[in-house]
Chain A
Amino acid sequence: MDPMIRLILAQGMLGLNNGVFYAMLSLGLAVIFGLLNVVNFAHGALYMLGAFLALILYSNLGPWLGIDALHIGFWPALVLAPLMVAAFGMLIERFLLRRLYKLDPIYSLLLTFGITLVLQGVFINFFNASGTPYPGMPDSLKGVVNLGFMMFPKYRLFVIVFSIIVCFGTWFIIERTHIGARLRAGTENPELVKAFGINVPLMVMLTFGFGTGLAGLAGVLAAPIYSVSPLMGANLIIVIFAVVVIGGMGSILGAVVTGFSLGLIEGITKVFYAPASNTVIFLLMVIVLLVRPQGLFGKHG
């Protein structure tokens, strides 16, 4: 195979790997925005929280409880950490965000920004600011797979496949089930849905929990790949915002497709002009704003 094509494919795969996190996070943002009209700035911080919970479950919980041999591994963490993040998210919704729904949405953006600073500050105090590697990667996912054009880490392949399933599952729940129908109805007209006897505040709380749980899940998936650091979410959330502006927050599928493709584009940019790979997503956002301001999948301006 031509080495150039091989390089593009290889960087594309790595880019797709970043795209996983863009897709899962912008999906959660879109789900939350759809029902609550809230842009959750804390989404990046909750992703960081998910990664830290996985790390804590493996490395710190045992010593804290005085049982040094206790390591709660990757598979249990993949379930436990997102649930904990979702619970935390629901507390935020119930006790803080709920007071702001009648106001301009910028207040909820500012509130979640404050939460981001608090979470970051706390973790910087207790953990290494420059990052800690996650030691709990399961043996079954260690090693590499031969993709024909490159040797690809088995774990990263698992992350790509797993997240596609999660994204598709979310799309299916929201677009094809009764629960999803109620959710979409709640987005369109909450008063009417209330009149049908559906507990809308509860639905809102669970939706926020679901969206933040997705962020937590992305965090657990990221832990074995990137080092777990208090600032891992901060830089990501800004990229996610650009992804969301490009895709438009109107559609679930749009968020997922945009997330994966932008990861891919970012990866391929590395082949041609590496210094631009940091900014290519932002530059694409500029182009989209000039050509189609409502976003690629946006319904209205």
Chain B
Amino acid sequence: MTDIAEFEAETAPETVKRGRVVQGLAWAVLLAAVLIAPAFLYPVFAMQLLCFALFAAAFNLLIGFTGLLSFGHAAFFGGAAYIAGHVIKVWGFPPILGILAGTVFAAALGWLVGMLAIRRQGIYFAMITLALAQIVYFFALQMPFTGGEDGLQGIPRGHLLGVIDLSQPLNMYYFVAAVFLIGFAVIYRVVHSPFGQVLQAIRENEPRALSLGYNVDRFKLLAFVLSAGLAGLAGSTKALVFQFASLTDAHWQMSGEVILMTLLGGMGTIFGPVVGAVIVVALQHMLSGIGSWVQVVIGGTFIACVLLFRRGIVGEIARMLKVGGWL
């Protein structure tokens, strides 16, 4: 993807300087937006945005930074929602432990799915993840504890650390905001670690990364587990926000939506998935009156992104500001 001239332009001192400033600004805008969102939006809607933004950012860790297209991320998002919901509602565990359980479950499931899927490459990888996620979907449909078509309803929000009442919308909002920021910071940290650099090397040229002595499969698997776990964190949190875990979250269409969010915002950018998630979720809200035409709009956006707009919104902005890699 990146050729030498582009690489030199990206690492030139003036670009680095500009990049730092622009990235600092982007962080400031993101933090400010997260902090003041409840003043402008319904808390539940704002929380929904944050959950999907985290989901898309977790997905981007794979497609954007490792070059693996998973078509089954709904399994981790939706599967974790059921586990978190069950642990909180039926076992009566506090919300944090429920979310943790969902996250660990998703990471473990990611390890299983990843083990199988990395045995094939490219387009097969996508098909295998899609098929494996369908098994999870059928489980969610048929197992007794998930409530089948009705979903798992009435998950209590409970108290954070036994003190803070999460049924208060604002308390819940800032809790979700903290979860989002922690998850997002972890992703940022991973991408900019030596580990993340190897992932990007695999994305750019897998045979070369292999010949340099990196155990490519292990790196891919670890990236997959991380991405699945963080997607599970997003899904568990969403279940607590809506007090509801449903089949929709585990359906392949959800796997498609998270791809669209990432593609629209900009694959392989830091802030792109957040922007993409906000746009897609807001679009679905605004168009909810036109019924299934929403699907046509989503599909059309997909086609337009792939044909005309492969860098995504943030990718295009980064190119215009000449700060590739910094946004």
Residues on A facing B (Cβ under 8 Å):
39, 96, 99-100, 103-107, 109-111, 113-122, 124-125, 129, 234, 238-239, 241-242, 244-245, 275, 278-279, 282-283, 285-286, 289-290, 293-294, 301
Closest residue of chain A to B135 (Cβ to Cβ) is: A282
CB contact under 8 A between A114 and B300, given known A39-B127, A125-B293: yes
Contacts of B119 in A (CB 8 A): 289-290, 293
Q: Report the Cα distance A110→B130, complex, angstroms.
A: 13
How many Cβ-Cβ contacts under 8 Å join chain A to chain B?
117
Residue among A100, A120, A286 making CB contact with B306, cutoff 8 Å? A100
Q: Is the CB of A118 within 8 A of B296?
A: yes
Q: Is the CB of B299 within 8 A of A117?
A: yes
CB contact under 8 A between A283 and B135, given known A117-B295, A238-B130: yes
Contacts of B301 in A (CB 8 A): 114
Contacts of B128 in A (CB 8 A): 245, 285, 289
Q: Is the CB of A106 within 8 A of B69?
A: yes
Q: Is the CB of B131 within 8 A of A121?
A: no
Q: Is the CB of B120 within 8 A of A111?
A: no
Contacts of B132 in A (CB 8 A): 282, 285-286
Interface residues on B, range: 35 or more
Q: Report the Cα distance A106→B262, complex, angstroms.
A: 14
Closest residue of chain B to A294 (Cβ to Cβ) is: B120
Q: Is the CB of B296 within 8 A of A111?
A: no
Q: How far is the CB of A94 from chain B (nearest CB, A)?
A: 13
Could you mark each residue 284-301 of chain B with 1 if its beta carbon is under 8 Å from any beta carbon of chain A, else 0? 000000011111111111
Residue among A104, A124, A275, A278 making CB contact with B292, cutoff 8 Å? A124
What are 27 of the A-B contact pairs (CB < 8 Å)? Answer: A39-B123, A99-B307, A103-B310, A105-B122, A109-B69, A111-B302, A113-B302, A114-B299, A114-B300, A114-B302, A114-B303, A114-B306, A117-B295, A117-B296, A117-B302, A121-B296, A245-B131, A278-B142, A279-B138, A283-B135, A285-B128, A285-B131, A285-B132, A289-B116, A289-B128, A294-B120, A301-B120
Contacts of A118 in B (CB 8 A): 295-296, 299-300, 303
Closest 6 CB pairs of A and B: A117-B299, A114-B302, A121-B295, A121-B296, A118-B299, A114-B303
Q: Report the Cα distance A275→B307, complex, angstroms.
A: 42
Contacts of A278 in B (CB 8 A): 138, 142
Q: Report the Cα distance A78→B299, complex, angstroms.
A: 29
14-44 of chain B: CB within 8 A of chain A? none
Q: Report the Cα distance A239→B130, complex, angstroms.
A: 10
Among A96, A114, A124, A285, the most chain B Cβ lie within 10 Å of the Cβ of: A114
CB contact under 8 A between A238 and B131, given known A107-B310, A110-B259, A110-B263: yes
Residues on B facing A (Cβ under 8 Å):
69, 116, 119-120, 122-124, 126-128, 130-132, 134-135, 138, 142, 252, 256, 259, 263, 291-303, 305-307, 310
Contacts of B123 in A (CB 8 A): 39, 105-106, 109
Q: Is the CB of A289 within 8 A of B295?
A: no
Q: Report the Cα distance A174→B251, complex, angstroms.
A: 37
Residue among A241, A290, A294 making CB contact with B127, cutoff 8 Å? A241
Q: Is the CB of A245 within 8 A of B296?
A: no
Q: Is the CB of A96 within 8 A of B296?
A: no
Contacts of B127 in A (CB 8 A): 39, 241-242, 244-245
Contacts of A129 in B (CB 8 A): 292
Q: Report the Cα distance A96→B305, complex, angstroms.
A: 12
Closest residue of chain A to B290 (Cβ to Cβ) is: A125
Contacts of B305 in A (CB 8 A): 110
Contacts of A239 in B (CB 8 A): 131
Q: Report the Cα distance A222→B135, complex, angstroms.
A: 24
CB contact under 8 A between A106 and B126, given known A99-B307, A117-B302, A121-B296: yes
Residue among A96, A103, A115, A275 making CB contact with B299, cutoff 8 Å? A115
Contacts of B135 in A (CB 8 A): 279, 282-283
Q: Report the Cα distance A289→B118, complex, angstroms.
A: 10
Q: Is the CB of A275 within 8 A of B293?
A: no
Q: How far is the CB of B279 from chain A (nearest CB, A)?
A: 16
Closest residue of chain A to B292 (Cβ to Cβ) is: A124
Contacts of A39 in B (CB 8 A): 123, 126-127
Contacts of A244 in B (CB 8 A): 127
